[in-house]
Each structure stands twice: as structure tokens, then as C-alpha cells.
């Protein structure tokens, strides 16, 4: 299986996608590296400690555990991890291995970005969502009460090691949540990936090994290409936020407790599909195909009590809102998107309400 390369103005690193990728971890640790700190949760460690131990061989390491859950992706967790590192003798030569889902990657990456003003990190994602999105591209951070990922830093890893084998222990709900990010990649840039996801949902859901490898590789290819073209999200990288603006509002509105990130993105993708149609950007038939593909990967937890008004009110605190202008990524067709701002609030309200009503009727 392939290795992709992310190349930014200052960094160049490999993203390996292969069964047993963790086996090459030691080769990515620079000879000058000091203490190794694995940032992970107890759940991930229970499942995958043996793989990590065997990948590191005789090399000593410390395991730093943090409590899982999006609501714990907070500055307080980063500070607690940094305090532990100091107590364990970390210095500027130390290296962080972020091992787990998107939250481990974001927190571990952020810790590495700010510990002693920056030490290296290697990302080893163990959920589909982290493999196809969060672990690649150097975005790190934590949530504030007022919104998701409102503090953070760009901190590119030394390498990203993606092993599809670790997904076999993933709870089905988490796997499905990751599939929505894969679907996103298809909608924004790869009609072939979209078709595969839309036409082969049974095999994808059954974790057919060849298809899982294919969809991960295609998603990573897209992510690596987009990040290499626009590391700091000045332009092209914004397309990766497809479905995220309303998705983030939904996560904040439900206190980060009710939905997995990928599920919130699925809701956001539904809403922006309707918005694209209401604004005349996308044909109804394409919107239907996109929404059918989302439905093929399962319905979301109940959103009873959530209103379009409450979600629209939150859009102002999304970090993609600049000088009061909310930017939306809208599909023109499957595989091609545009970024639009200045959309009338009543249309955003209407599209969000349509998505809410669809889910209530499902």
C-alpha cells in the first residue's frame, strides 16, 4: 500500500498507509530524540499496547493517559499532560507519539506544539476518522466552551503511520462516524471515491479489507494534496471543512457529549447540501444522491430539542467566521465544491431546518 507525502513550505513528511504500518515507527524516530511520550487513552492502550511495545522494541517510553471524550479536549488536559512530562524529566529533545483517535491526535499534537515552545510529534491514528482526516495536516488544538478547536496551533508531525488493521477493534458507531469524513472527501474532490461509497456501502460497512484500504488511501491522498497546496487554510484547505461549520455548531450545542465528530459532520453535510440547492449552486438530483449516500451509513442519534435557530446562532463563534462573515463550502456537483460567504441567514436557517426535519422523519 502507498506512502503519501505532505510537503509544506517548511516541512516534508510521509503518511504511510499499510497493514502493520506501526512496525516502521522506530525508523521515523530521529537518532537525536530523547525521551518518548505516548499520549493516549486507557481504552486505546488496553487494545493496542502490545503493537506499540513491539514497534518500539527495547526503546524506553512513558505512557501519558488522558480521559477520552470530546468534552475533555480542553486546555486543562493539555496542561495536565505537560505537568506529567515535566515530572517525568521531559526536555527539548523529547518526542510525543499521539496514539489514538482524533482527540489524542489533537491534544498530543497541541502538547507537542507548545511544550518548551515545540517538540516533535509522530501521529499514529487508531480510528478511521483520525486516519483519513485529523492525523494528517498538522492541525492541533483544544475546545473552548464557546466553540470547537478555538485554541490550537499548526504543528506538522514527523510522520503519520496508518494501519487499517487497528480498525477491526473499533466500535461500529465510531467506524461509521469516520466513514462520513471519507464521504466528505468524495464530495469535495473525488467522484470515484463518492461512487465507491455510494454503491458499495454494504461492503464498506462490513469492513471488506480491500475496500477499506482503498477508501483510506484515496482520502489520505486528497488530504495530503490539499494540505501541501495550502497548509494554513488560506484558500484551498477550506474545502476540507465541508459540512463542518454547521457540524461544529451542533457539537457545541450538544456540549460535545451527544454526537461523535463524524456524525455532526454528516448532519452538516446534509444541511449544506440543502443550502447548495437553495442558493442555486447544486442540482436537486446531486443533493439527493449525497443525502442518500449519507443515509446509507446509518442515522444519527436523535436531535430532538435542537432547533435551526440555536445552530444558526452559534455560527458566529466558529473560527471559520471572519469579520462576522460565515463561509460555507458548497457542492456544485459531486467532486467539486466552492466557498461562499454572505449567504442570507434565512436560507441557512431553512437548510438547517430541512436537515433536522429529515432526521426526525427517518
Segment contacting ligand GLY (CB under 6 A): 32-40, 133-141, 156-164, 300-308? Answer: 133-141
Question: Which residues lie across from 125 on neighbouring strands?
Answer: 100
Distance CA 290, CA 333 (A): 10
Contact 70, 129 (CB under 8 A): no
* 345 three-state secondary structure: helix
Q: Report if residue 16 touches ligand GLY, rule: CB under 6 A.
A: no
Window 84-123: contact mask with ligand GLY (x via CB under 6 A): ----------------------------------------
Q: Report if residue 189 touches ligand GLY, rule: CB under 6 A.
A: no
Q: Report if residue 240 touches ligand GLY, rule: CB under 6 A.
A: yes
Q: Report if residue 185 touches ligand GLY, rule: CB under 6 A.
A: no
Q: Report if residue 237 touches ligand GLY, rule: CB under 6 A.
A: yes
- Tell me which of 148, 196, 244, 274 is the catalytic residue: 244
- Tell me which of 174, 231, 233, 263 is the catalytic residue: 233
Q: Report if residue 264 touches ligand GLY, rule: CB under 6 A.
A: no
Contact 279, 343 (CB under 8 A): yes
Measured CA distances, 333 to 33, 169, 281 (Å): 47, 35, 8
Among 332, 315, 266, which Cα is nearest to 295's?
Answer: 266
Q: Report if residue 152 touches ligand GLY, rule: CB under 6 A.
A: no
Q: Report if residue 137 touches ligand GLY, rule: CB under 6 A.
A: yes
Measured CA distances, 62 to 72, 171, 242, 261, 290 (Å): 21, 27, 37, 29, 45
Closest CB to ligand GLY among residues 220, 240: 240
Catalytic residue flag (residue 203) = no
Distance CA 360, CA 353 (A): 10
Q: Report if residue 148 touches ligand GLY, rule: CB under 6 A.
A: no
Rg value, the chain, Cα: 20
**Closest separation in Å from C-beta 241 to ligand GLY:** 6
Catalytic residues, which ones? 117, 139, 181, 223, 233, 237, 241, 244, 248, 261
Q: Give the binding site for ligand GLY (CB under 6 A).
A: 133, 137, 139, 237, 240-241
Amino acid at each position: 500500500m502507498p506512502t503519501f507525502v505532505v510537503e509544506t513550505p517548511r516541512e516534508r513528511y510521509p503518511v504511510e498507509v499499510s497493514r502493520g504500518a506501526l512496525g516502521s515507527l522506530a525508523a521515523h524516530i530521529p537518532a537525536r530524540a530523547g525521551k518518548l511520550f505516548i499520549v493516549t487513552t486507557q481504552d486505546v492502550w488496553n487494545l493496542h499496547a502490545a503493537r506499540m511495545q513491539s514497534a518500539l522494541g527495547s526503546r524506553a517510553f512513558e505512557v501519558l493517559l488522558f480521559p477520552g471524550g470530546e468534552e475533555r479536549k480542553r486546555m486543562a488536559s493539555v496542561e495536565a499532560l505537560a505537568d506529567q512530562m515535566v515530572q517525568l524529566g521531559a526536555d527539548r529533545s523529547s518526542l510525543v507519539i499521539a496514539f489514538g483517535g482524533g482527540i489524542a491526535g489533537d491534544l498530543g499534537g497541541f502538547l507537542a506544539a507548545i511544550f518548551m515552545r515545540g517538540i516533535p510529534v509522530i501521529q499514529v491514528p487508531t480510528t478511521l476518522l483520525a486516519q483519513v482526516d485529523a492525523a494528517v495536516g498538522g492541525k492541533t488544538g483544544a475546545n473552548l466552551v464557546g466553540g470547537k478547536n478555538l485554541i490550537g496551533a499548526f504543528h506538522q508531525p514527523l510522520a503519520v503511520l496508518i494501519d487499517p488493521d487497528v480498525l477491526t477493534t473499533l466500535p461500529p458507531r465510531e467506524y461509521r462516524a469516520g466513514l462520513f469524513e471519507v464521504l466528505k472527501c468524495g464530495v469535495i474532490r473525488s467522484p470515484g471515491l463518492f461512487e465507491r461509497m455510494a454503491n458499495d456501502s454494504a461492503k464498506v460497512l462490513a469492513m471488506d479489507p480491500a475496500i477499506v484500504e482503498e477508501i483510506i488511501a484515496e482520502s489520505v491522498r486528497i488530504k495530503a494534496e490539499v494540505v501541501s497546496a495550502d497548509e494554513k487554510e488560506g484558500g484551498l484547505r477550506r474545502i476540507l471543512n465541508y459540512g463542518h461549520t454547521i457540524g461544529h455548531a451542533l457539537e457545541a450545542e450538544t456540549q460535545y457529549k451527544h454526537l461523535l465528530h463524524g456524525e455532526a459532520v454528516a448532519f452538516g453535510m446534509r444541511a449544506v447540501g440543502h443550502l447548495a440547492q437553495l442558493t442555486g449552486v447544486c442540482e436537486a438530483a446531486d443533493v439527493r444522491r449525497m443525502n442518500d449516500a449519507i443515509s446509507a451509513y446509518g442515522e444519527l442519534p436523535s436531535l430532538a430539542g435542537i432547533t435551526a435557530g440555536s445552530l444558526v446562532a452559534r455560527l458566529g463563534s466558529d473560527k471559520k467566521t471572519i469579520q462576522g462573515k460565515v463561509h460555507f463550502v458548497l457542492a456544485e456537483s459531486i467532486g467539486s465544491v466552492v466557498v461562499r460567504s454572505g449567504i442570507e441567514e434565512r436560507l441557512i436557517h431553512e437548510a438547517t431546518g430541512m436537515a433536522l426535519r429529515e432526521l426526525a422523519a427517518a
